[in-house]
Amino acid sequence: MSTNSRLSMSQNMAIQHISQYAASRRGAAQASIREILHLSNISLSSFEDAVSKLRSHARVALHFHPDRPLADKKSVAQALLEQGIYKSQFETQISNGSVSAYPGGARDLWEMKLFGGAYQMEGIANSERPKYGALDLMLHSDGPSPRFGSCYFLLAPQVSYRCTYTYGGSQDDPLEKGTYEEFDDILAAVLKDAFFREYALGEKGLSPPKVVDWLLLCLNLPITERLKQMPSRNLDHFIEAQIHGDIFLHDDVEILVADPSFQGTDIEATFEKLCLKYAIELHWHKGFAIQADKVPPDFRGPTMPSLAKRLAINNLIDVRAVGAAVNDLKCNPDLWSDRGNLDEVLQELKYMWHVLVRFGEPYHK
């Protein structure tokens, strides 16, 4: 089994652990793939060509909220501009909800199980921990996993070779895991969902032939083509990628897709400087906005309508309004105590972003 000289011992061990697990499931995965290809009248050569296209062109997306505050009060966007590196939650200590990235915390425990203790060895630095994204196969304008952030970086395709993958969020310990070296378990999961549910990766009406045709014909479409599409609103169905090793903006990031509510703000100015400094393309998706009185009480809980009224500017909520509330909460927690403690209110604000993704209309100034 190959190792990557760019990676540390713990990072290579983590990748090898997942590869060995996926190899143990290879036989069953390949049997499922063969059966679905046969029933769907797809030739093995077409499928293999599609997988080859995936390995050549598929990118990992890193979703993030650029206006969230760090411990030094700088925004995530400003830190990215100054440091030129995308850091893990163990380093930033920020989260959309409560932070569990510390020894013995929930994230540490599930990483220990996922990677066989590779990141719990003595002397492991927080900077060695994996960063989390999603494999971008369906090219949705709002990205493959918008629940994790309104903006996203698209990495160079070669970064995908030093990732491990789970079919769904790793916090749920899904059975299907893999690496590009051992990817059959992930591919079988996608094909099974497409065959039995006609739904996979946030895409309705997706059959196995459509999966294969899409991979063959569409993975290398220009970024401008995807941004013409309406958002997928996909909160839950994605191939999570755990990226092992450093993510340098200049070397590893090729495209930034941002939410249009940040246009005309300090965040846009920071993004323009960042993209110029690190040779990254800057694009904008359609964004999300919702009227406060349209926020439902039965999607992320009955407190959402009252929170919407508090956040709204001229009865309208966008991601910038949610971010402003997060910043105010961090600076003035007492002003939000009527809604709960810090972690509880952060959770509410995270849920409001989910509401925006699911129900929001395209953003217009």
- 312: nearest Cα among 328, 290, 282, 343: 290
- 255: nearest Cα among 284, 230, 288, 290: 284
What does the pLDDT read at residue 98? 55
Identify the bridge partners of residue 134 per DSSP, sorted by sequence position. Answer: 61, 240
Report the Cα–Cα distance between both ends of the chain, in Å, rounded. 53
Q: Distance (Å, rounded) from C-alpha 246 to C-alpha 127?
A: 8
Q: The tokens of 176 are what?
A: 């299907």
> Running DSSP on this structure, what letter comes out for residue 341?
S
pLDDT at 365 > cutoff 90: no
Average pLDDT over residues 306-320: 96
Q: Distance (Å, rounded) from C-alpha 218 to C-alpha 273?
A: 31
Q: Distance (Å, rounded) from C-alpha 63 to C-alpha 157?
A: 16
Burial class of residue 271 in the structure, from the number of CB atoms within 10 Å of its CB (0-12 exposed, 13-18 middle, 19+ buried):
buried
Q: The tokens of 198 are what?
A: 């006609």
Handedness of CA 303, 305, 306, 311 (dihedral sign): positive
What does the pLDDT read at residue 3? 72
Identify the bridge partners of residue 181 per DSSP, sorted by sequence position. Answer: none
Domain limits of the chain?
A: 9-284, 289-359
Q: At what angle do helices 319-331 and 342-359 cross, to 10 degrees?
A: 180
Identify the bridge partners of residue 290 per DSSP, sorted by sequence position. Answer: 317
What does the pLDDT read at residue 1? 59
Helix, strand or coil, per DSSP, at residue 124: coil
- More confidently predicted of 6 and 288: 288
CA–CA distances in Å: residue 263 to residues 284, 320, 326: 9, 10, 19
- Which residues, in sequence order, are CB contacts of 306 under 8 Å at separation 6+? none
Q: The tokens of 168 are what?
A: 């769904």
Residues 82-118 pLDDT 10s = 999 999 988 987 766 556 777 888 888 999 999 999 9
DSSP string, 131-142: EEEEEE-S--TT
What is the radius of gyration, based on Cα positions, of the chain?
Answer: 20
pLDDT at 350 > cutoff 90: yes
Helix, strand or coil, per DSSP, at residue 239: strand
What does the pLDDT read at residue 5? 79
> Running DSSP on this structure, what letter comes out for residue 230?
P
What does the pLDDT read at residue 4? 81
What does the pLDDT read at residue 355? 98
Residue 236 host element (H or E): none
* Phi (first) and psi of residue 173, to 5 degrees: 50, 55
- Chain centre distance of CA 351: 16
- Say which amino acid occupies 39: L
Q: Distance (Å, rounded) from C-alpha 357 to C-alpha 311?
A: 16
Residues 27-59 pLDDT 10s = 999 999 999 999 999 999 999 999 999 999 999
What's the chain's average pLDDT?
95
Q: Distance (Å, rounded) from C-alpha 65 to C-alpha 148?
A: 8
Residues 243-302 pLDDT 10s = 999 999 999 999 999 999 999 999 999 999 999 999 999 999 999 999 999 999 999 999
- Ranked by mean pLDDT, which of 118-127, 314-323, 356-365 comes out on top? 314-323
What does the pLDDT read at residue 73? 87
Percentage above 70 pLDDT, the chain:
98
Average pLDDT over residues 337-345: 94
What does the pLDDT read at residue 97? 54
Q: The tokens of 102 are what?
A: 């510390």
Q: Distance (Å, rounded) from C-alpha 183 to C-alpha 179?
A: 5
